[in-house]
Chains A and B, each alone.
Chain A
């Protein structure tokens, strides 16, 4: 059983953050909320997504799992107003999700969860460095990097967190000291990441006050931020490019 109502914009943003990783996902539904864990087809990025029942206007559910084509939901939410409420109810027998939004009723066919790639195991991480910064700053650095390169370096050097991109001839660098950051745990950190992924990942962070980056040397980065006033959480784990031989 699953029956819930949620703000359309919040649902739209949540779906968009998942769509960065995959097109088809398994939603794990429980009385506490909805969670998704997915790895992109190239095995470079993982998304871990949790939306607690408190994020919903109404919520009641038993344990169940459904397979969803995110493109379809994105399409139909495209018609909804930001302030609309989306009502969802699962028809378990026919494997359909009934969605009511803005006076329109959709019947969305679900995917057989067994045809969707299985949930990955989420690794336990102890990363040497951590930075908490404003989402808009992160987004700005990524946007600047995009102009001149396909990759961006992130690291810490003498208590300064830096983001840097090098093109064939040009270079752009954003440095942030402790006073410009919300928090920092200094450590050995310097890794290069593909902007193909970073650009999509940081897109929603413009509205986010606190984004936490956990970093290492030539090691995957963990990017965490809260959504829905703390009732939900999104984490991305992104594998680095290693260019030194």
Chain B
């Protein structure tokens, strides 16, 4: 959002930014509603569990548990489980997540290699748990009301520097997690894959990776980087696996909308490749007055550099690969993600991951020709076709590049 626009509007409902609601005010409303829950300088509640590691000042970062004051086990679980937020209005998600008080401490990322930092050790213990853990934190000063919106992170509430915090009960640690956390010979990458295959949730893997509990040379990793690292590692593993599977038999199209993000997912009967086009309509979270279209893709050999579309690229790729691995097929995958003004506050990269995952739950359509499929999907997006179709390299390859078996029986 442009600061100048916000200053003119000051949340008076002028709607200068074009959003139906002011994300700044929404955030304040919910933060204010919990500030009464923070009595004095301490907070008590069941952490989902959730941990946050900032990237500012790296390698000296601020990190610590997220504690929702007075939350019981059942409501705490919901706070860190995006799969269950599907039908909630955006303002409810913001207000729910804003209850999470960040109990920060400053540490060096290499502190994870020793055990000298008692607060880090406690945060690690918390991260091990599958279920919410009652946690109490004492702050130097009452946690500060603060706005925290970001493209990758899920929203969070006020934060403060902690004197100390304690877990009021023992964490419940899944066996697989216990085993891999104590395995200091396994590379972080292998540990992540092992957990992923062992049905440990992506949120918990990210948490363990981020707080420096996986790998040989352990480090605390900012949450933002951890989320994408886990999406990427799991995605690469699946991409290798599906190369052995036969191609999908038909041109198949899935579509769905999640929090104002519309997804069209086209599976083409060809060797694996992946392309994502993001089309940001004017007046969405980051786009301002004009629209913006970006593209990135990979072939069989995967990506060598970090995607120009950042974390959203890896978050979109993972559920596609999960789907293909599930049906034991490979395909050339084209995704068009259109971000509409209904996505008025950034909620984090999980929106993309869950959005693609949910689109696969809708019944697909199949087509005889690429042209028919593209016409169909273009009818559901608002961005003019000319603005994105020239960027879609994968579609032009599918349409124009012939294969040998279209000429010979080989």
B-binding residues in A (CB < 8 A): 39, 41-46, 120-123, 194, 219-220, 237, 239-243
Contact = CB atoms under 8 A, between A and B. Distances in A.
Nearest to A43: B403
Interface of B: 243, 270-271, 300, 400-410
The DSSP consensus for interface residues of chain B is loop
B403 A41 contact: no
B402 A42 contact: no
A184 B236 CA distance: 47
A43 B404 contact: yes
A239 B400 contact: no
B402 A41 contact: no
Given A42-B270, A43-B271, A123 B402 contact: no
B110 to A, nearest CB: 33
Contact of A239 (B270, B271, B403): B403
Given A41-B300, A44-B404, A241-B400, 15 more contacts: A42-B300, A42-B401, A121-B408, A122-B410, A123-B407, A123-B408, A220-B404, A220-B407, A239-B401, A239-B403, A239-B404, A239-B407, A241-B401, A241-B402, A243-B400
Contacts of A122: 410
A240 B397 CA distance: 11
A240 B405 CA distance: 12
19 contacts: A39-B404, A39-B410, A42-B401, A42-B403, A43-B403, A44-B401, A44-B404, A120-B410, A121-B408, A122-B410, A123-B408, A123-B410, A219-B407, A220-B404, A237-B404, A239-B404, A241-B401, A241-B402, A242-B402
Contacts of A241: 400-402
A28 to B, nearest CB: 17
Nearest to B403: A43
Contacts of B406: 239
Contacts of B408: 121, 123
Nearest to B393: A150
A194 B399 CA distance: 13
A219 B407 CA distance: 8
Nearest to A42: B271
Nearest to A37: B410
Nearest to B400: A241
Contact of B401 (A120, A123, A194): A194
